[in-house]
């Protein structure tokens, strides 16, 4: 089995954007398990079958939860982590996570 791929999306997307992202991820990483880190926003109906794991704690409150999330990202063994916030509206915290997650997987910016 291949190493999983993580998509980080903290703000809501429209259904059409979710569909485009799903198609792009499947094409770029065939037969790879996908995980999602979100902030608890509504997800499309197919999300439960597409993403092997869905973490709804993308905006941790407090230093303990923040460190727990960093540890989960570090120990996840991800091949690639996609920043689904994009270059224009990217969350500053995601840019910081990129430098704190070790071992450092490849990070890519995903445009819907």
Residue-wise pLDDT for 71-109, tens only, equals 999 999 999 999 988 766 556 778 788 888 888 899 998
Q: Give the range of the structural domain holding residue 55, as residue numbers without chain letter.
A: 5-109
Cα-based angle 43, 24, 88 (whole degrees, multiple of 5): 75
Query: Which CATH number characterizes residue 42's domain?
Result: 3.40.50
Q: How far apart are CA 53 and CA 16, in angstroms?
A: 22
Backbone torsion region of residue 5, taken as left when φ is above 0, otherwise alpha when ψ lies between -120 and 50, otherwise beta: beta
Cis bond before residue 10 (omega within 30° of 0): no
Report the domain count for the chain: 1
Q: Quick one: which H or E segment has residue 86?
A: helix 86-89
The pTM for the full model equals 0.90
Between the CA of residue 95 and those of 16, 28, 31, 67, 92, what are the distances in Å?
Answer: 26, 22, 28, 16, 5
- How high is the pLDDT of residue 47? 93
């Amino acid at each position: 089995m291949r190493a999983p791929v993580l998509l980080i999306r903290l703000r809501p997307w429209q259904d059409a954007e979710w569909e485009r992202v799903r198609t792009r991820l499947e094409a770029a990483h065939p037969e790879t398990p996908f995980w999602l880190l979100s902030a608890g926003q509504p997800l499309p109906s197919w999300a439960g079958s597409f993403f092997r794991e869905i973490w709804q704690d993308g905006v941790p409150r407090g230093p303990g939860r923040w460190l727990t999330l960093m540890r989960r990202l570090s120990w996840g063994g991800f091949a690639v982590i996609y920043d689904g916030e994009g270059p224009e509206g990217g969350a500053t915290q995601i840019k910081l996570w990129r430098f704190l997650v070790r071992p450092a997987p490849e990070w890519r910016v995903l445009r819907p």
